[in-house]
Amino acid sequence: MRRRSTAHAVPGLVILALLVAHPAAAASFRCGKAKLPDEKAICADRRLNDLDVELAVRLDVIKHLVPMGTRGALMDDQQAWLAARHQCGADHNCLTRRYADRLEEINGALQRVYGKGPF
C-alpha cells in the first residue's frame, strides 16, 4: 500500500489559513495601519471590506469620467462621507448603511455620466 504525501497539501492549507485569518486584506486602505474603529471594523468584516473595495473602484471610475470641476466636488463629497463613516465607529449596521447610501449616490452619478455617452 502506497502512502500519500501530505507535503503538497501543507502550502495550500497555510494559504487558506492566512486568507481566513485576514479576510479584509483587500480593503481600499492598508488594514495593517488601521487605527480608527471604523477602519478596524472594515478590516475585520468581509462584507464591509467588499463594500469598501466596491466603493473605491466605482469612485475611481467616475473620477476619470467627469470634468475637473465635478471631480473636485466629488472628492469633497467623499471627504464629508469619510467623516460621517468615522462617526459610525465599529457599528456594523451604521457602516453598512453609510456604504449603501454612498454607493447609491455614486451609482446615480455614474448613470448620469453614462446617459451622456457614447464613449
Cβ-proximal residues to 105 (8 Å cutoff; 6+ apart), any chain? 77
H or E element: which one contains 49?
helix 46-63
Pick the closest to residue 24 from 6, 47, 1, 57 (CA basis): 47
- 5-61: per-residue pLDDT in tens? 444 444 443 333 334 444 445 578 889 999 999 999 999 999 999 999 999 999 999
Percent of the chain with pLDDT over 70: 76
SS3 15: helix
What is the Cα–Cα distance from 10 to 17, expressed in whole angstroms? 10
> What does pTM read for this prediction?
0.74
